[in-house]
C-alpha cells in the first residue's frame, strides 16, 4: 500500500472538510475563554486541534492549528498579531497528531499527550511569548496553579472525545 503525501491527503474532500470543521470549531471556541488577569487565559479551543491531529496526523494537525490561530486573529484581533502563538498552535496539532494518530486510545497515552501539551505550551512557550511581548515574568506561580488545575479537566475532555471517536469507529486507522 502506497503512502499518500500530505497534499494528496488534503485534496480528499472528506479530509479537507474535516480539517475546515476543526479549524472553525477552534475559532468559535476561542471566543469562550475565561481571562484571569491580563495574560492568563483558560479555554478549550485546543480540543478541536488535538482531535484534528489525532485523526489526520501531526503535519495536518499542525497546519490546522496554525490556520485556526491566524483565522482567529483575523476574526477577533486583540492587540497585535504575534507569530509565537501561531507556532504554539502548530505545536498543539503536531503534538497530538504525533502521539495519538493511528495509535490505540488509552488513558496512559492521552494522559502523556495532555501532560506534554501542558508543559510545552502552558509552561514553556506561552511564558516565552508573553515575556517577548509584554515583559511578563517567565515563571509565575499563578500559571503553574492554572496548569495543575487545568490538567485533569483537559485530560477528561481529550480522553472522552478521542475514546468516543475511536470506540464508534469514526477513526479508521487504515484510511488516513
Joined grid coordinates for residue 89: 498552535
The residue-averaged pLDDT of 36-53 equals: 84
Alpha helices (H) along the chain:
6-11, 13-29, 46-56, 58-75, 83-100, 107-117, 126-134, 141-167
Banded pLDDT at 169 (limits 50, 70, 90): low
In 10 A of CB 170, how many CB atoms? Answer: 10
Q: What pLDDT score does 2 carry?
A: 55
Range with the poorest average pLDDT among 59-73, 95-109, 114-128, 133-147: 133-147
Q: What pLDDT score does 175 carry?
A: 44
**Cβ neighbours of residue 172 under 8 Å, at least 6 residues apart?**
none
**Cβ neighbours of residue 71 under 8 Å, at least 6 residues apart?**
23, 27
Dist CA 21 CA 60 (whole Å): 13
Joined grid coordinates for residue 113: 499527550
Dist CA 133 CA 39 (whole Å): 11
pLDDT surpasses 50 at 91 = yes
The residue-averaged pLDDT of 154-161 equals: 96
The residue-averaged pLDDT of 95-106 equals: 96
* Residues 121/69, Cβ–Cβ less than 8 Å: no
Q: What pLDDT score does 174 carry?
A: 43
Place of cell 468516543: 164
Dist CA 6 CA 113 (whole Å): 23
- By percentage, how much of the chain surpasses pLDDT 70? 91
Q: What is the mean pLDDT of the chain?
A: 89
Amino acid at each position: 500500500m502506497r503512502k499518500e503525501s500530505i497534499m494528496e491527503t488534503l485534496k480528499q474532500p472528506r479530509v479537507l472538510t474535516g480539517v475546515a470543521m476543526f479549524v472553525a470549531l477552534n475559532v468559535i471556541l476561542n471566543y469562550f475563554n475565561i481571562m484571569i488577569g491580563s495574560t492568563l487565559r483558560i479555554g478549550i479551543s485546543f480540543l478541536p486541534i488535538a482531535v484534528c491531529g489525532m485523526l489526520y496526523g501531526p503535519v495536518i494537525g499542525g497546519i490546522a492549528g496554525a490556520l485556526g490561530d491566524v483565522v482567529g486573529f483575523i476574526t477577533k484581533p486583540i492587540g497585535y498579531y504575534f507569530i509565537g502563538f501561531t507556532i504554539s498552535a502548530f505545536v498543539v496539532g503536531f503534538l497530538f497528531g504525533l502521539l495519538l494518530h493511528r495509535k490505540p486510545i488509552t488513558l496512559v497515552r492521552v494522559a502523556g499527550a495532555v501532560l506534554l501539551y501542558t508543559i510545552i505550551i502552558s509552561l514553556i512557550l506561552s511564558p516565552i511569548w508573553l515575556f517577548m511581548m509584554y515583559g511578563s515574568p517567565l515563571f509565575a506561580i499563578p500559571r503553574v496553579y492554572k496548569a495543575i488545575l487545568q490538567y485533569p479537566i483537559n485530560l477528561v475532555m481529550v480522553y472522552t472525545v478521542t475514546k468516543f471517536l475511536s470506540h464508534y469507529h469514526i477513526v479508521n486507522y487504515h484510511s488516513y
